Structures are given as C-alpha cells and as structure tokens.
Structure 1
Amino acid sequence: MKKYELVANDIKAKIISGYYAKGSILPDQKTLAEDFAVSKITIKNALDNLANAGFVLKTSGFGTVVIGPSTLITDKDAPASNFEGLTDQAGAERVASKVIKFDLEFPSADVKTHLNINDEEPVYHIIRLRLLDGDPFIIENTYMPVALVPGLSQSVLESSIYTYIHDTLHLKFAGISRNIQARQADELDMRYLNVSKNSAILEIEQIVWLVNGKPIEYSTSRNDSNKRSYYLFETM
C-alpha cells in the first residue's frame, strides 16, 4: 500500500470513529504533514483520495471539511472517476486474475479510432476475469498499443497491468473518459460471472490517456449489477 493510502486510511478511521466530526475542519496540510511525518504532496494525495471517496470536501479559502462517510456510497461502490485499477482499490491480497485471452492483433476500425492509431500498429487484446476474494467479479476486455506498453507478459496480466505501467514503464495517466450503461448478460458473462441470461450487467467503456495526450487503453469491463456500482462525487 502506498504512503498516501496509509495516511488516507488513518484519517478515514478517525472520521468514522468521530475523532474528526462531521462539519469540522481538518488541520491544514502543513500540520497534517508534520503529524504524519510525511511530505505535503503525500497529504495532498491522501486528501484527494478521501475527497473522491466522499469523506471530505476540499474548499477554496475555507479548508478541508469533514462530510463523510457519504450515506449514498456503499462498500460495493467504486468512484466513477478513479484512475486506480481493481488491485489498488481492493488490495492485492483480495484480487486475482484469470487470463482468458492474450493476443497480438491489428486494430479494428473502432479500436483504431479509440486509440488514435493506424491500421499497421499492433495492439494487445486482453480478456481477463478478475476475482475478488475468490469469487468472479469483473470481465475486462482491453486493447493497448504494443508501442506504448512494451514487454507486457502473462505474469503481468495475472497481477496488475496498471502497476506495471506506472512502476516499470514510468508512465502517468492524465485523463479518462467513461461511458456507463446497463446491458443484458451475454455468453461470456454467463460463463465466467455465473449469471443468468436475464441478469442485468453494468458495462463501463473507457479510454485512458497519458500525460502526452496519447490513448493507452480502450476497454470495456462488465460486472453483475448486484455486485458493483459506481458513484460520482463533485464539488460545486
């Protein structure tokens, strides 16, 4: 777990316990950095994490207000704007991956458009079943340009692609576009998610961009709507 996540979890626990009461103002970032013996950027990332989860509201000129935990967010929800993968969200000890497909392909017309590449630029086509605590959770269907993600291997797919991108390739995400829709279960869902033909499936289609503006991922992920939903927390 990253240092800012440890700090965020500590502050979150204090909010849940009532140590930081709803409506109160958290100490400023300099004070928190001194209290936790970390840098101000670590505190900023921790507060961003808590804001995305609906525990605090960062306001200009007023400070960071404690508002959570939000009564609208349950433990099965995930932030709609989160850049983290499932492994970071749930913890590596809870997540496993079963690789269903791992091929090199030339892009279809849709994939070419979404990734802004030409016909002759190969892509990885990856289908993975993500398991949470040993149970089928999400099916991911992912395309990534080989040129941007060199050296992708079976062992990486069985752990965390995003960790490989960030820690090994040293690439940073800058933006994400998501389209969330309700779907009916298809054959892949029924086979791997253990759902019936009439089950409601939540599909998240997304494109992820690097800081240089290049799309690095086009993917769809599908899950049983009873197991995971998404929330959006915004400031006005």
Structure 2
Amino acid sequence: MYKYQQIAQSLHQMFTDGTYAPGALLPDQEQLAKQFHTTRITIRKAIQLLIVEGVVYSKRGAGTFLRKDYRATTGGISPIDQPLGTTATQPGHKVTSKILGFAARMPNESEQEALVICPTDPVYVIDRVRYVDQQLFSYEHTIMPTAIMTITEDMLKGSIYAALKAHGIAIAGSHRTVYAIKATEEDVKAIGAALNDPVLVIRQVSYSVEGEPFEFSESHFPYENASVTADIELDPRQPAK
C-alpha cells in the first residue's frame, strides 16, 4: 500500500472516531504534511482519493471539508462508482445519441456545490437520449464546466468520456447515488415513459485524477431496462452482527 493510501485510511479513521465532525474543515495540506511526516504532494494524493470516494470535497479559497452526509465506510471505490459511461458499459454494442439540448449558462447553487465552482463559472447543459443497438436505453442530463474543454455537438453524438480522455483528462472515479422516482413530464418526452411510471435515476459527480469534479449528471432509465449490479466485499475484520 502506498503512503498516500495509508494516510487516506488514517483520515477515514479520524472521520469515524469523531475527530472530525461531518461538515468540518480539515487542516490545510501543509499542516497535514507535518502531522503525517510526509510531503504536500503525498497529502494531495490522499485528499484526491477521498474526493473520488465521495468522503470530502474542496472549495476554492476555503479548503477541504468532510461531507455533511458522511457515513463511515471501509473505503475504496466500489464497482458502482467506477467511471464508466454508456459506451464503456455496453461493449460490443452500437451506442448512439439523440441530442435534445446543448447550451451554456451560469450554474445554479446545487451545480456550484457539486462541481466546486463559482457563480460566475459557466457550464455546459447537455441533454441526450442514449440508444443501444437502436433500442432506447436512457435519458441523460449533464452539467460540465466549460473550462474543462471545448465540447462540440459531434462529440455529444459519441462518447463524452472518450473525448475527455483524448483531450488528456484522466478520469479517476465517480460518487453516485441511485434511487427511483415517478416519471416526470421530461421523462415522458425523452424516454416515452408514462407519467408516474417508475424510473431508475443514477446521479453522479465524476472526478479527474487531480480530484477536480468535471461532471454533475443524472441518468434516467425506464423500468423495463433498469437494473444495478454491484459486487459487495465484506471486511473480515468487522464483527458479525
């Protein structure tokens, strides 16, 4: 295990034992480097790992905070949090997109918080319907800072993640929330769901290896083809309940 991984585990323990309360501001990287007898680069990598795991978040000019909704976990990126888009999760199949909307505007408060950006940082607003082998798969609503890279409609017809990687952006992981809703008017228009039908939603914030959030999105799946699969590994050190 690398030094930064050990430090991330130590910080996890501090979050769990109450050393830091949910929402607390962490010491700056220089202080943490002294505390763990290491370099700021190593601390930065540890913080990046915790950001990708959805444990902490950073605010420009303010510092790094433990998430207010933090719950103790064993750490690590679960399979459901792997940074895979529709193209990557459907190997061997033809994935196409229908662009419903593509524009730029200033972010709202929830987008600012999720992407750790300022009110004056413009974002792309992308609405697409995805098809797998010409069969409807999902409706995606994506918010991305325009500072990440220039995005074109041609890119949206294919894989945004592939375009990011080609631009030199290395993707580390995603923090995801999976839940169900009743179909909205937007779902009726986008995926042909009947109003109030069940719809699976995956909301995610994706991060680069530098710990920079670059995507805040929701994917809506009609119940006919909605499923989530994850491999759960139990920690043998934990006592049975």
> Shorter-chain TM-score category?
0.5 to 0.7
| 2:176 corresponds to which of 164, 175, 178 | 178
Task: Tell me if the contact between 1:185 and 1:196 (Cα under 8 Å) persists in the aligned partners.
Answer: yes
Quote the offset at 1:87 in angstroms: 0.9
Structure 1 segment 1-236 matched on structure 2, within 5 A: 80-91=80-91, 93-148=93-148, 150-166=149-165, 168-236=166-234
Answer yes or no: is the 8 Å Cα contact 2:106–2:120 preserved in 1. Answer: yes
Displacement, 1:176? 1.2
What is the CA deviation profile of residues 9-28 of structure 1, one whole-angstrom value per residue up to 9, with x for unaligned ones? xxxxxxxxxxxxxxxxxxxx
Provide the TM-score with structure 1 as the length reference. 0.63
8 A contact 2:184–2:196 mirrored in 1? no
CA pair 92-102 structure 1, distance change in 2 beyond 3 A: farther
Please tell me whether the aligned partners of residues 169 and 208 of structure 2 are also in contact (alpha carbons under 8 angstroms): yes
For residue 137 of structure 1, report the CA deviation from its aligned partner. Answer: 1.4
Q: Distance in 1 between matches of 2:219 and 2:86?
A: 11
SS in structure 1 opposite 2:139?
strand
- Taking the aligned partners of 1:195 and 1:174, their CA distance within structure 2 comes to 33
- Distance (Å, rounded) in 2 between the aligned partners of 1:232 and 1:118: 35
Amino acid at match of 2:161: Y
- Structure 2 distance, partners of 1:81, 1:118, is 26
Give the Å deviation of 1:92: 6.9
SS in 1 for 2:129: strand
Count of residue pairs the alignment pairs up: 156
Separation (CA, whole Å) in 1 of partners of 2:232 and 2:93: 30
RMSD after superposition: 1.4
The amino acid that maps onto 1:151 is: T
Q: Is the 8 A contact 1:202 1:225 kept in 2?
A: yes
The answer for unaligned runs of 5 or more in structure 1 is: 1-78
Q: CA deviation at 1:191?
A: 1.6
- Give the SS at the match of 1:165: helix
Deviation at residue 93 of structure 1 after TM alignment: 4.7
What are the Cα deviations for residues 180-199 of structure 1, in whole angstroms up to 9, with x where unaligned? 11100011211221221131
CA shift for structure 1 position 235: 2.3
Deviation of 1:135 (Å) = 2.1
Structure 2: distance between partners of 1:228 and 1:170 = 32
Describe the SS at the equivalent of 2:217.
Answer: strand
User: Which secondary structure state, in structure 1, belongs to the residue aligned with residue 196 of structure 2?
Assistant: coil
Q: Which aligned runs of 4 or more in structure 1 are off by greater than 6 angstroms?
A: none
Match of 1:69 in 2: none
Per the alignment, in what secondary structure is the counterpart of residue 189 of structure 2?
A: helix
Task: State the distance in 2 between where 1:212 and 1:201 align.
Answer: 33
- Structure 2: how far apart are the matches of 1:231 and 1:109? 32
